A = this chain, B = another copy of it.
Amino acid sequence: MKEKPAKSHNKSKKPKLYSFRIRKSPYFEATERYGCRAYTTYNNMYLPLVYQDLVSDYWHIKKGVTLWDVGCQRQVEITGPDAFKFLQHLTPRNLTNFKVGQCKYSPLTTEDGGILNDPVVSRLGENHFWLSIADRDVWLWAKGLAVGLQMQVTIQEPDVSPLAVQGPKSFDLMADLFGDWVHKLRYFWFRETELNGIPLVLARSGWSKQGGYELYLRDASYGDQLWEIVMEAGKPYDIQPATPSSIERVESGLLNYWEDLTEDTNPYEVGLGKFVDLNQDVDFIGKEALKKIIAAGIKRKLVGLEIHSEPMYHQAQPWPVECNSQPVGTITSAVYSPDLDKNIAYAMIAVECVDEGTELVVDMGSEQPEATVTAIPFIDNREKVWRGIMDEH
């Protein structure tokens, strides 16, 4: 916060205390200048939560183009002679065909088969990787493992700060800025480039399914400049600052670490079984546990729900879900979708109740609305993201 005049310990105003225990991204001042109204924390950094309001921000992501400070998506960099081998230990995903220039969504598992994080990994060189992580300190896990396994790797947090440009108009905006080649950049691929001398990795990725890019800034001192360049170039497209949308991401089938998956959930339970290859030679962490889990069969599964109630504003806790008056699980994420005009949710429930169309009851405390099991995603936005140029990711 701004320094107050001396001796100002007044309590009339709610204190607005930014701690520097919580780090600020290089775009932080820009987000304040552009009217960010609230922040949350993510990987010990401030993450913008809302500019206009959650619904206006959401519509702009879906219809226009938006700029997100996602500097809190920290990169865990793995280099060294054993880097690839080490990475293969971290994830159940088969990385055999992982090309330089490619990104791969690669859940990390514990020795119990639980999900530790679900980063997007970029391969910058044969033995040079960035793990763009969800909210959990993968650096510590990787460091601990590397020390224990005595592998020849270096684990670092490089000076890299992602800025996301998301929404259907992002394609034309980014072509204005970088040239037509960005139209041909395939989904989940990247290129090392620069903009007015600012060093960047430009990836076709981002935590929405509305299409877009992420600019991985490689020198924090250019943060404000990069933000302003993109905002200026975005004017013809009515670009707006926004944040990762809790609504859009549920509509589109994206999962959020700590809500929909944690180390207590395994990949099979949350629809990530396709990223587990038990037949590969690599002895990744969690392989034995996952073999046992799949042999025994999973007991619960993440499903979509339509909740038949008045539009919800905000879900304060993981509501219990019942089937035939028996507790069968909990809601992990729930939002009102203005586009569908429905309350939609994810729920982790017993496998006996996961068939589409199953009728359930949600215990919200004040009310107990009915709900119906539905497919994930609620809205299939694949074409928006691929725009004809898809790839395995």
Contacts and interface: CB of A to CB of B under 8 A. Distances in A.
A14 B135 CA distance: 24
A361 to B, nearest CB: 17
A229 interface: no
Interface in A1-58: 1-4, 6-11, 14-15, 17-22, 37-38, 40-41, 44, 49-50, 52-56
A85 interface: no
Interface stretch (A122-130, A196-204, A311-319, A385-393): A311-319
A311 B150 CA distance: 51
A11 B52 contact: yes
Interface residues of A, number: 65
A175 interface: no
A279 interface: no
A149 to B, nearest CB: 4
A147 B285 contact: yes
Contacts of A136: 137, 140
Given A20-B316, A140-B140, A310 B6 contact: yes
Contact of A313 (B8, B14, B22): B8
A137 B140 contact: yes
Contact of A143 (B50, B141, B146, B311): B141
Contacts of A141: 140-141, 143-144
Contact of A142 (B144, B256, B365): B144
Contact of A7 (B11, B20, B285, B310): B310
Contacts of A314: 1, 3-4, 17
Contacts of A146: 144, 148
B140 A256 contact: no
Which one of A111, A144, A148 has the highest number of Cβ atoms from chain B below 10 Å of its Cβ? A144
Given A22-B41, A135-B21, A364-B3, A15 B54 contact: yes
Contact of A311 (B6, B11, B144): B6
A116 interface: yes
Given A137-B137, A148-B148, A285-B147, A258 B15 contact: no
Contacts of A40: 17, 19, 21-22, 41
Given A11-B53, A136-B137, A143-B141, A17 B38 contact: yes
A110 interface: yes
A116 B141 CA distance: 12
Contacts of A362: none
A38 to B, nearest CB: 6
Interface in A300-342: 310-318
A366 interface: yes
Interface in A272-307: 285
A138 interface: yes
Contacts of A135: 21, 44
A8 to B, nearest CB: 5
A228 interface: no
Given A6-B311, A54-B15, A313-B3, A259 B144 contact: no
Q: List 3 tightest A-B contacts by C-beta distance, closest first.
A: A148-B148, A144-B144, A6-B310
7 contacts: A3-B365, A7-B310, A11-B56, A17-B314, A110-B147, A145-B147, A148-B150
Given A8-B313, A14-B38, A145-B148, 17 more contacts: A1-B314, A3-B312, A6-B310, A7-B310, A11-B52, A20-B315, A20-B316, A20-B318, A21-B135, A41-B41, A111-B143, A140-B140, A140-B141, A142-B144, A144-B148, A148-B148, A148-B150
